[in-house]
Amino acid sequence: MESCPRNRETCPKLLDLIPRGRKWHQEEKNNTDHEHKLELRLAPPGGDEEDHYAVNKKNIETRNNNIVKEAEDKPIFNGGNHSSASNKTIYTPHISHKRTAPGPVVGWPPVRSFRKNLASTSSSKLGNESSLGGQVNKNSDGEKQVQPKREGMFVKINMDSVLIGRKIDLNAYNSYKQLSFAVDKLFRGLLAAQRENSGGEGEEKPIINSLDGKGEFTLTYEDNEGDKMLVGDVPWHMFISSVKRLRVIKSSEISSALRFGCSKQQKLRT
């Protein structure tokens, strides 16, 4: 698979994930067909792409921290030939900082684990289309579990250094191997596009190997108690019943991620 901007066949899949008419920005000034302009385009910069998204800090709400910080640098769909303005279709303008905190910062924001778990449990309930419809059951441990309905259990999946996350239907797979392969396919294109921009190789190689940790990336997940866990420890059905979202992290980050994120809770359980 080639990198996205060149291969028009694969990229439309990504386009399809973005619902039409979704409001990415607050009120447009004088735009009758702003929906049309909100679409991601693959065409080279046309006249109608460059005007309004350039910089309007007052009208544009800051969104994802990661998106803001990286907006100037590596827009995914930029093959390197486009002006950065044309890629502001989805990214908010870069706000200058002195010291940018990289990615997720340990212990920030200063909120106790109790509260973080609460927020994540709730957001996955409210944001997760299908698990809401599931029956709330109590298993023998007395812990609440949501049994997913058969028709699709979509969870968010993010990857380090990739700005846009995906959603993946866990019910479509029956084993970790299938999941690993699917995740790999999902992100390969995006990752390759980014690598290409930064001058790296755009090779097609398996980037994820969650099971033996040999790959450059490892698959982790966040469970229904808000803890970050390594994928693969428990039987598949147990994983399915407790997973809330997935994250692909660099294998080298594992030890620090595990320690700072949840060492306290991990140790309590053992």
Partner 1 sequence: MNRATKLRPSTSEMNYFPDEVIEHIFDFVASHRDRNSISLVNKSWHKIERYSRRQVFIGNCYAISPERLIRRFPCLRSLTLKGKPHFADFNLVPHEWGGFLHPWIDALAKGRVKLEELRLKRMVVSDESLELLSRSFVGFKSLVLVSCDGFTTDGLASIAANCRNLRELDLQENEIDDHRGQWLNCFPDTCTTLVSLNFACLKGEINLSALERLVARSPNLKSLKVNRAVPLDALARLMSCCASQLVDLGVGCYENNEPEPESFAKLLFAIAKCTSLRSLSGFSEVGQLCLTAFIPISANLTSLNLSYAAEIQGNHLIKFVHFCKRLQRLWILDSIGDKGLEVVASSCKELQELRVFPSDLHDEEDNNNTAVTEVGLVAISAGCPKLHSILYFCKQMTNAALITVAKNCPNFIRFRLCILEPNKPDHITSQSLDEGFGAIVQACKGLRRLSVSGLLTDKVFLYIGMYAEQLEMLSIAFAGDTDKGMLDVLNGCKKLRKLEIRDSPFGNAALLADVGKYETMRSLWMSSCEVTLGGCKRLARNAPWLNVEIINENESGRMERNEEDEREKVDRLYLYRTVVGTRKDAPPCVTIL
Which residue(s) pair with 146 in the sheet? Answer: 136
Q: How far is CA 253 from CA 34, 104, 183, 227, 248, in A?
A: 41, 12, 18, 16, 10
Long-range pairs of 54-57 with CB within 8 A, sequence gap ≥ 24: 54/85, 54/88, 54/93, 55/93, 56/93, 57/93, 57/95
d(CA 192, CA 134): 37
CB 76, min distance to partner 1, A:
15
CB 22, min distance to partner 1, A:
10
**Which residue number, 252 or 263, has a Cβ lying nearer to partner 1?**
263
**Which residue number, 111 or 238, has a Cβ lying nearer to partner 1?**
111
**Which residue number, 211 or 258, has a Cβ lying nearer to partner 1?**
258
CB 177, min distance to partner 1, A:
27
**Which residue number, 41 or 156, has a Cβ lying nearer to partner 1?**
156
How open is the CA angle 141-145-146, to the nearest 5 degrees? 160
**Which residue number, 1 or 54, has a Cβ lying nearer to partner 1?**
54
CB 207, min distance to partner 1, A:
21
CB 9, min distance to partner 1, A:
27
DSSP string, 215-263: SSEEEEEEETTS-EEETTSS-HHHHHHHEEEEEEEEGGGHHHHHHHHHH
Kindly give the pairing relationship between strand 144-147 and strand 166-169.
unpaired
Residue 169's Cα: distance from chain center in Å? Answer: 14
Longest dimension (CA), the chain: 63
**Which residue number, 2 or 225, has a Cβ lying nearer to partner 1?**
225
Interface residues toward partner 1, by CB under 8 A: 57-58, 61-66, 68, 95-101, 105-116, 118-125, 127, 136, 138, 141-144, 158, 165, 245, 260-265, 267-269
CB 97, min distance to partner 1, A:
4
CB 224, min distance to partner 1, A:
11
Which residue(s) pair with 228 in the sheet? Answer: 222
**Which residue number, 30 or 135, has a Cβ lying nearer to partner 1?**
135
Burial class (CB in 10 A: 0-12, 13-18, 19+), 155: buried
